[in-house]
Amino acid sequence: MISAVKGMNDLFGKRAVRWGRMEEDIKLLVSNANFTEMRTPMVEEIALFKRGVGETTDVVQKEMYDFLDKKGRHIAMRPEGTASVVRAFIEHGIAMNEPMPFKVFYIGPFFRYERPQKGRYRQFHQLGIEILGDETAQMDAEMIFTAFRVLTHFKIDAEVHINSIGCKECRPAYREKLVEYFASKKEHLCEDCKTRINTNPLRLLDCKICDPKSKYKDIPVMTDHLCGACDDHFKQLQKSLAIFHVPYIIDPFIVRGLDYYTRTAFEVVANTGGSQNAVAGGGRYDNLVADIGGPDTPATGFAMGLERLFDLIPEDFYSESMLSAGYALCDEAVDDLVHFAKHMSHHPIRFFADYKPKKFKKALQKADKTGAAFMFIIGEDEVKEKKILMKNMKTGEQKVYGQHEVMIIVR
Ligand code: HAM
C-alpha cells in the first residue's frame, strides 16, 4: 500500500470543514487590519533561504527539502514565508510602486524535514503577516497584537513572550560576552552547541538538548546590553503593547531559530498545561531586505502554525451547520428531486440529494447515518401533487409541504 509521505497529513470530512472556517475567520480578521494577501511559489532557489534564513540555522542545515531540477538548478520547498515575501518585494520594485508600509498576509503549506510528532509536521501550514517599510516599535506592537487578536478570537488563552535581540551596533559586543561566558562550559554543552559557540552563539540560549538556561542562572542577556536606540525601541514596544491590552512577559531567552531578526523577537505559547510548543513567533528584521539585495527597508512580522492553532480551538467554537437530505421513493420522483436539488442550491442550506430510488425505511436509515437534521421525501403521491414530505429527524415530526415552500421553513 502506498501511504502519505511521513509527517504529511490528509484533511477531509468534519476537520476540513472546521479548517476552512478557521481560515475564513483569519482572513477576515487580517483583512480588517488592512493586510492584503500575497501568494508566492511553494519553491524558491535554495540560495534565498541560505541567505535569508541563515546558513547556520537548523532550518537550512538540517530541515530543507531540496532538489535539483531538470536544468540542474538547486531548488528548495519553502520552509518559511518571510524570505519569499522579501524576495517578491524586491523583485517587483514594491518599495517604489506601493505606499509604505506594505502590509501582506499569507496562508499556505510550508515544508521542514523535522522529526514528526504532535504539532510538528513535515508539511505544515502557517498564517503569516509581514509589514515592510516601517521601523516603529508601535508597528511591532500592532503586529504582535494581530497575532494575539487571532488567538483571542478563537477564545485561546495564550502568553506572549517578548525580547529584544539588539541590532548591528550592540549585538556583536554581546555576542562576544556570550562566547566568553560559555568558553569555560564547553564540555557541558551538546555537540550542536559546541559548534554554535562559534557560528551562532545566541542559539545556545534556547537549546532544548543541553538546556543551558536552566543550568546556569548568570548567563548574560541581550536586554542588559542594548544600545540606547534599541533600549528606547524596546521600552516603546512595551508601552504600546500595554495600550493594545496585550499582556506580555519579558523573556530574555527568546532568540528565535532564524537568523534575520533585529530588536523585537517574540513567541506566543498557549496556556494548555500541556506542550510548550509556540503557536506563533516572529519579530523585526530590519536588515533582511538589504541583505537580499533590495533597498534599505525596516520590516516586522510573525507566523502562526495553523495545525497548532486548530488543535487549540475549543470543540464547541463552531457549531455544525444543519444538514438536509433528499430521497426519491420511486423512478417517477427522481426528476422532481433534481428540481428540488436545484432550488435548494439557491439557498444557504447544506443539502444533498440521493437520486437512486429507495424504500422509505432505507432512506430513513441513510439520512440517520449521514447525520441529517431534516429529511425530504418525494414519493408517488408527492409527484402527483407537487408536494414533498419533510421529516424532522430529531423529533420525528413529519409534514407535507409544497416543493417550493420548504426553503422558507428550513432556513
Ligand atoms: P517560526 O517560528 O519558524 O517562524 O514558525 C512560526 C510557527 O510555525 C511556529 O511557532 C509553529 O507554530 C509553526 N511551525 C513551525 N514549524 C512547524 C512544524 N514543523 N510543524 C508544525 N508547525 C510548525 C517563521 O517561520 C518566521 N517566518 C516567522 C516570521 C514572519 N518572522 C517574521 N515574519
pLDDT at 272: 82
Whether 303 lines ligand 1, by a CB cut-off of 6 Å, is yes
Provide the CB-side half-sphere exposure for 210 (13 A, CA): 19
Please give the Cα distance from 328 to 180 (Å, whole number): 81
Whether 308 lines ligand 1, by a CB cut-off of 6 Å, is yes
pLDDT at 274: 65
- The closest-lying atom of ligand 1 relative to the alpha carbon of residue 278 is 10
Q: How far is the CA of 161 from the centre of ligand 1 (A)?
A: 15
Whether 324 lines ligand 1, by a CB cut-off of 6 Å, is no
Please give the Cα distance from 299 to 348 (Å, whole number): 42
- The closest-lying atom of ligand 1 relative to the alpha carbon of residue 114 is 19
pLDDT at 169: 96
Which protein residue has the closest C-alpha to ligand 1 atom 25?
A: 80
- The closest-lying atom of ligand 1 relative to the alpha carbon of residue 128 is 30
State which of 87, 124, 139 you would mutate to test the pocket of ligand 1, scoring each by most atoms of that ligand within 8 A of its C-beta. Answer: 124
Please give the Cα distance from 170 to 141 (Å, whole number): 22
Which protein residue has the closest C-alpha to ligand 1 atom 30?
A: 302
pTM for the full predicted model: 0.92
State which of 65, 80, 163, 311 you would mutate to test the pocket of ligand 1, scoring each by most atoms of that ligand within 8 A of its C-beta. Answer: 80
Q: What is the pLDDT tens value at each position of the chain, 411 positions in all?
A: 999 999 999 999 999 999 999 999 999 999 999 999 999 999 999 999 999 999 989 999 999 999 999 999 999 999 999 999 999 999 999 999 999 999 999 999 999 999 999 999 999 999 999 999 999 999 999 999 999 999 999 999 999 999 999 999 999 999 999 999 999 898 899 998 998 898 889 989 988 899 988 899 999 999 999 999 999 999 999 999 999 999 999 999 999 989 999 999 999 999 886 667 899 999 999 999 999 999 999 999 999 999 999 999 999 999 888 899 999 999 999 999 999 999 888 888 899 999 999 999 999 999 999 999 999 999 999 999 999 999 999 999 999 999 877 765 655
Q: How far is the CA of 280 from the centre of ligand 1 (A)?
A: 6
Whether 307 lines ligand 1, by a CB cut-off of 6 Å, is yes
Q: How far is the CA of 351 from the centre of ligand 1 (A)?
A: 38
What are the angstrom distances between the C-alpha of 189 and each of 18, 115, 182, 206, 255? 44, 22, 9, 12, 18
pLDDT at 273: 66
Phi-psi region of 162 (alpha: psi -120 to 50; beta: other; left: phi over 0): beta
pLDDT at 349: 85
pLDDT at 405: 79
Which protein residue has the closest C-alpha to ligand 1 atom 18?
A: 120
State which of 103, 126, 156 you would mutate to test the pocket of ligand 1, scoring each by most atoms of that ligand within 8 A of its C-beta. Answer: 126
- The closest-lying atom of ligand 1 relative to the alpha carbon of residue 81 is 27
Q: How far is the CA of 68 from the centre of ligand 1 (A)?
A: 25
Please give the Cα distance from 288 to 7 (Å, whole number): 30
